[in-house]
């Protein structure tokens, strides 16, 4: 039996990851989450224990360190607007809690951590960012994630995934993420004004993130001590190209380029995922399939609007 602690287990990525990992009988998962977005605390199952708690509670974390073999720290304030609104909490959760955890883990215990390829900030023109590219985070979110990655990679038994911008449906749905947001606007408003349409980004479906974590657990010894970009190589797109992809699914969607406008989010980079692909993992959930999934979800009775406040 492998005992895994997942912090932020009721979040956008965490809830989906637990659903996938819990299908493996030889794994027991403990999930910790504050439930700050009013999610419902799920009932414990045979191989998942759900706790309501805060990663800043050092006594709670020390108790869990004694019980678990693998640590997947997903708990974080995510996204530039949220982190700007709550800078103290962002520092405490995104970095301080990670540092405390690493200081108290044994050498044998394993860490699988998602950070963000937002750390690349603004990439060079006509050049892909790989894991050796300089990190130039533009937001507090990006800066705290870069700091946290540095801490965990001082340990031998750690793996860091620099996630592309995530899209797709989850139990704790987020519509502020770029693909999810543009598709939402296309679905309900039918028209979108875009600023600086040449800004580039890489994307990955949320199911491929779960697949990558499972792959890492199964191949830990060959991946440990390494940093990997994690994205869909077919989805290095500008904002305008993303709009064109959405139009393939939502035919009556229109977008308008506003030349005099300025996007407050200055991230602009394409990302190479060749390193993780050379290890045998490749993201496979296409952007078109994800947009179609989102479109059907938004029009269904399951959809409930939410904010990443």
pLDDT in tens, the chain (309 residues): 899 999 999 999 999 999 999 998 899 999 999 999 888 899 999 999 999 999 999 999 999 999 999 999 999 999 888 999 999 999 999 999 999 999 999 999 999 999 999 899 998 888 999 999 999 999 999 999 999 999 999 999 999 999 999 999 999 999 999 999 999 999 999 999 999 999 999 999 999 999 999 999 999 999 999 999 999 999 999 999 999 999 999 999 999 999 887 888 888 899 999 999 999 999 999 999 999 999 999 999 999 776 665
On whether residue 262 sits in a domain, the answer given is no
Contact 291, 276 (CB under 8 A): no
| Residue 103 CA to its chain's centroid (Å) | 24
Return all residues near 282 (Cβ < 8 A) that are at least 6 apart.
233, 273, 276
Which structural domain, as residue segments, surrounds residue 116? Answer: 2-167+202-233
Whats the size of the chain, residue-wise? 309
pLDDT of residue 25: 85
Write the DSSP assignment of 127-159 as a string of letters.
Answer: -EE-TTSPP---SHHHHHHHHHHHHHTTSTTEE
Q: Is residue 183 part of a domain?
A: no
Q: What is the tally of structural domains in the chain?
A: 1
Is residue 239 situated within a structural domain? no
CATH of the domain at 28: 3.40.50.720
Phi/psi region, residue 196 (left: phi>0; alpha: psi -120 to 50; beta: rest), is left
Is position 211 within any domain?
A: yes
* pLDDT given at position 186: 98
Number of Cβ within 10 Å of residue 149's Cβ equals: 22
The DSSP result for 250-267, as a single string, is STT-EEEE-TT---S---
Indicate whether 86 belongs to any domain: yes
Which distant-in-sequence residues (6+ apart) come within 8 Å of 255 by Cβ?
A: 191, 192, 193, 194, 240, 243, 247
- Please indicate, yes or no, whether the overall pTM of this predicted structure exceeds 0.85: yes
Q: Within a domain: residue 285?
A: no
Question: Using the 8-state DSSP alphabet, how is residue 92 labeled?
Answer: I
CB atoms within 10 A of CB 166: 26
99 domain residue, yes or no: yes
Is 293 part of any domain? no
Q: Would you state the pLDDT for residue 264?
A: 80
């Amino acid at each position: 039996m492998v005992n895994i602690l997942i912090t932020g287990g009721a979040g956008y990525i965490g809830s989906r990851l637990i659903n996938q990992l819990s299908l493996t009988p030889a794994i027991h998962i403990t999930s910790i989450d504050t439930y700050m977005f009013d999610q419902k605390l799920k009932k414990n199952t045979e191989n998942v224990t759900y706790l309501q708690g805060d990663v800043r509670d050092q006594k709670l974390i020390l108790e869990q360190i004694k019980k678990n073999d693998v640590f997947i720290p997903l708990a974080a304030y995510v996204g530039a607007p949220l982190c700007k609104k709550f800078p103290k909490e962002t520092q405490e959760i995104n970095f301080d809690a990670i540092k405390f955890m690493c200081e108290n883990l044994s050498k044998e215990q394993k860490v699988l951590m998602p950070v963000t390829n937002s750390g690349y900030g603004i990439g060079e023109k006509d050049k892909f960012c790989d894991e050796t590219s300089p990190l130039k985070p533009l937001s507090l979110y990006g800066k705290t994630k870069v700091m946290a990655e540095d801490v965990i990679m001082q340990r031998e038994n750690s793996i860091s995934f620099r996630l592309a911008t995530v899209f797709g449906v989850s139990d704790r749905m987020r519509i502020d993420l770029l693909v999810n947001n543009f598709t939402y606007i296309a679905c309900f408003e039918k028209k979108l004004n875009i600023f600086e349409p040449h800004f580039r980004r890489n994307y990955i479906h949320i199911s491929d993130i779960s697949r990558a974590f499972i792959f890492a657990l199964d191949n830990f010894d060959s991946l440990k001590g390494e940093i990997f970009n994690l994205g869909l190589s077919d989805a290095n797109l500008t904002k305008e190209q993303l709009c064109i992809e959405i139009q393939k699914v939502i035919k009556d969607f229109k977008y308008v380029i506003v030349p005099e406008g300025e996007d407050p989010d200055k991230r602009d980079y394409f990302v190479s995922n060749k390193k993780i692909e050379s290890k045998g993992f490749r993201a496979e959930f296409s952007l078109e399939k994800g947009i179609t999934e989102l479109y059907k979800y938004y029009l269904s009775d399951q959809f409930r609007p939410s904010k990443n406040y």
